[in-house]
Amino acid sequence: MYRSLLVPLDGSQFGEHALPLARAIARQTGATLHLVHVHVITVPISVDAIPIFDEALDAQDRAREQTYLDDLARRLSTGGALSITTAVLDDPIAAALQTYAVAHDIGLVVMTTHGRGAFSRFWLGSIADTLMRCAPMPILLIRPQETPPDLEQTPMIKHILVPLDGSALAERMLPPATALGALTNAAFTILHVIAPEAAGYETDWPTAWHEAGTLTAIRAAAQTYLDRVAERLGAQSLVVHTAVINGQTAPTILEYARDHAIDLIALATHGRSGAARALLGSIADKTVRGATTPVLLYRSPKAALGA
């Protein structure tokens, strides 16, 4: 499933924190690693308040960006054979990345949640936000650290958390997640969070406990659902655990991940924007922004059709 990986870079150490995990996946799968930077035209020189495009300066910047990518490719190739290709693309950034991904049959985009560009462009954060709503392939988002990345590191994904809400849309995350977990024989926990509003309450759980009978029935139904999913995954020789927890959805997902040594959270997203995003994409948004572990997001093509 993951035969070609795309890593967008903006010239910063923050952006490079995506590289260790991307390289590990590429080596485990034999995938080609695509390192790309989107060139944004150098701010023109102004003469008498008239902007003048400096073609020579722009060419120097483009060459510098290509050199940066080629140097990273050489560093990543040490220690074993690895297929790497580099490319400097043209602005606009999100459209260029998506076009490249489709043209090169990219199976997975690996990138940090934000970057601080040495090329005077701080674009990774907003681009990650855009791609997670429109890209037709899974996106693996990594929170960067303040320290420089260790490119010799080989991160291991041993425990994957997959929150499910009982919908077919959420379950579309399962194939990308299990394909990634199979590379390291990872265990899986499928989690169902019962939020107060899902149980028909507009308040917090202390009040809801007064209707314990209703809550018990909801929990039982959720557990039955997870058991069915776990049985399907178990038939694929996967190690699967289940958990049903009461609470607000995103905070509960993040707390569970912290408390159970989760290495990766995998979530399906509706990939919508505007008012619909506030209603349907807020769980993915809050999880990405609060997670300290990598987050795998997938916007199924059927989600764009309202399926």
62's tokens: 């483009």
CATH number at residue 130: 3.40.50.620
DSSP lists the bridge partners of residue 38 as: 89
Number of domains in the chain: 2
Domain region containing 256:
159-304
CA distances to 100, 215, 226, 233, 237 from 221, rounded to whole Å, are 44, 10, 9, 19, 25
Residues 78 and 208 in one domain: no
Residues 183 and 296 in one domain: yes
In a domain, 151, yes or no: no
> So what's the pLDDT on residue 306?
44
Residues 58 and 30 in one domain: yes
In a domain, 104, yes or no: yes
In a domain, 150, yes or no: no
Last residue of a domain, one of 142, 169, 195: 142
Last residue of a domain, one of 94, 116, 142: 142
> So what's the pLDDT on residue 289?
86
In a domain, 199, yes or no: yes
Residues 128 and 196 in one domain: no
Residues 33 and 70 in one domain: yes
Last residue of a domain, one of 79, 112, 142: 142
In a domain, 240, yes or no: yes
Residues 276 and 173 in one domain: yes
Residues 110 and 165 in one domain: no
In a domain, 147, yes or no: no
In a domain, 231, yes or no: yes
> So what's the pLDDT on residue 275?
39
Residues 167 and 133 in one domain: no
Residues 244 and 276 in one domain: yes
pTM of the predicted structure, to 2 decimals: 0.87
> So what's the pLDDT on residue 286?
87
Residues 39 and 97 in one domain: yes
Residues 134 and 243 in one domain: no
Residues 136 and 191 in one domain: no
In a domain, 153, yes or no: no
182's tokens: 């199979």
Which residue numbers in the chain have pLDDT < 70? Answer: 43-49, 114-125, 197-213, 270-281, 300-307
